[in-house]
Structure 1
Amino acid sequence: MMNRTPKVGHQPEGFMGKYTDQVKLAAVRDYCSGEAGLTTIAQRHNVDVSSLRQWIAGYRAHGEAGVAGKKREFYSVELKLAVLKRTRDEGLSHRQAAALFNIRRFNIICRWEQQYNQGGPEALSWGSRGRRRKMTKNAPIQNKARQADDARSRQELLDELCCLRMENAYLKNLKALVQARELSVRESERKSCLS
């Protein structure tokens, strides 16, 4: 039988759950020293690469406070809208937006986007599983919008579809450009982290 006792300051091998703040900070500082790459540092500290990447972003944006563990937080609709707006306006990745707003789990922003796209700003007040916490009075408004869509001509709908496809293609190209820029910025930030 394998001994699953963790080393001092480390989690057990294969552990993908919560890490101590000391482990997080040690891994981030090790990465910022510039001695090794992301994967090597993650293996050295027995942490998940994706988590390490997120801790580094939090550390760069907020210092040690950006790495410290947090209790489960509930975010206001206003904050969710601000995050989504800034992400869209500045072409930020979810990871970058999470670091800027000190949000522990960057993938929650994806969920907010899905909720917003499905139901608008009202949907952001829904519970974590997409269920409404309370009934809203906006259902008649949504039904009227659907009725308005039904009344539109086929050509109007095709024109809108064409516009949406062009917008989608534009956003895909923009995302590719932003990712290329992120790669070069990440490399320069890593060098600045050494200072």
Structure 2
Amino acid sequence: MTENTQARKYDAKIRKRAARILATGVGHRALAVELGIPEATARQWARSYAVGGQAAVMNAGSTHRVYPYELKLSVVRDRIEQGMSVREVMIKHGVPSESSVKTWCRQYRDGGPEALVNKPRGRKPKHPKS
């Protein structure tokens, strides 16, 4: 993986600074320049900030959240059928993850509403031999 495509972790100090900058109403491009971070990261943090403020920026990606089927379906319908932007649906439904919205839309297009049903995660349990 090259330096430009490698996922990076940002510490609490830079995230807190980003939240302070976003609180002033600065856009994601200016944030990227100010902090020397990729525009895509700055855009995600700006969207997260719009949904949940500083806490959303500080905790971005730190926990795996499971969303109910009804919420995912509402998000997808607003995005696909109503033509709302990713940012608009993130704010309306309180979903701080751009990638979740995009994933749900892709799943819906590929497999319909059933594709949004939550599936068990992890390894399947081993059955004892009889």
TM-score calculated relative to the size of structure 2: 0.64
- Between the aligned partners of 1:22 and 1:99, the Cα distance in structure 2 is 25
Q: How does 1:129-168 map to 2 (within 5 A)?
A: none
> Is 1:122 the equivalent of 2:114?
yes
Point out where structure 1 has 5 or more consecutive residues left out of the alignment: 1-12, 128-132, 134-195
Task: Give the fraction of aligned pairs with identical amino acids, expressed as a percent.
Answer: 29
Corresponding residue number in structure 1 for 2:39 = 49
Root-mean-square deviation over aligned CA pairs = 3.2
Q: Which has the higher contact order (CA 8 A, sep 6+)?
A: 2
Does the 8 A contact of 2:28 with 2:43 survive in 1?
A: yes
- The letter for the 2-side match of 1:26 is R
Kept after mapping to 1: 8 A contact 2:29/2:42 = no
On the 8 A contact 2:51/2:95 being kept in 1, the answer is no
Aligned 1:3-18 pairs, distance under 5 A: 16-18=7-9
The corresponding residue for 2:127 is: none
Distance in 2 (alpha carbons) for counterparts of 1:64 and 1:118 = 34
CA contact (8 A) 2:69 2:117 kept: yes
C-alpha separation in 2, matches of 1:22 and 1:100:
28
Counterpart amino acid of residue 56 in structure 1: A
What is the match of residue 102 of structure 2? 110
Q: Over residues 46-98 of structure 1, what are the superposed CA-to-partner deviations in whole Å (9 max), with x where a residue is unaligned?
A: 32212212222222332223323141222221221021122245422223323
More helix by share: 1
Q: Which has the larger radius of gyration?
A: 1
Give the paired residue count. 116
Maintained 8 Å contact 1:87/1:94:
yes
**Aligned to 2:70, what secondary structure does the other structure show?**
helix
The question of whether the paired residues in 1 share the 8 Å contact of 2:107 and 2:116 is answered with yes
The answer on whether the counterparts of 1:58 and 1:102 sit within 8 Å (CA) in structure 2 is no
Q: CA deviation at 1:122?
A: 1.1
Q: What letter corresponds to residue 103 of structure 1 in structure 2?
A: V
TM-score by length of 1: 0.47
Q: Relative to 1, partners in 2 of residues 1:93 and 1:118: Cα closer, same or farther, differing over 3 Å?
A: same
Does 2:11 align with 1:20?
yes
Quickly say closer, same or farther: Cα 1:100–1:20, change in 2 above 3 A.
Answer: farther
User: Quick check: 1:115–1:124 contact (8 Å CA) kept in 2?
Assistant: yes
What residue ranges of structure 2 are gaps of 5+ in the alignment? 125-130
Q: Distance in 2 between matches of 1:37 and 1:117?
A: 31
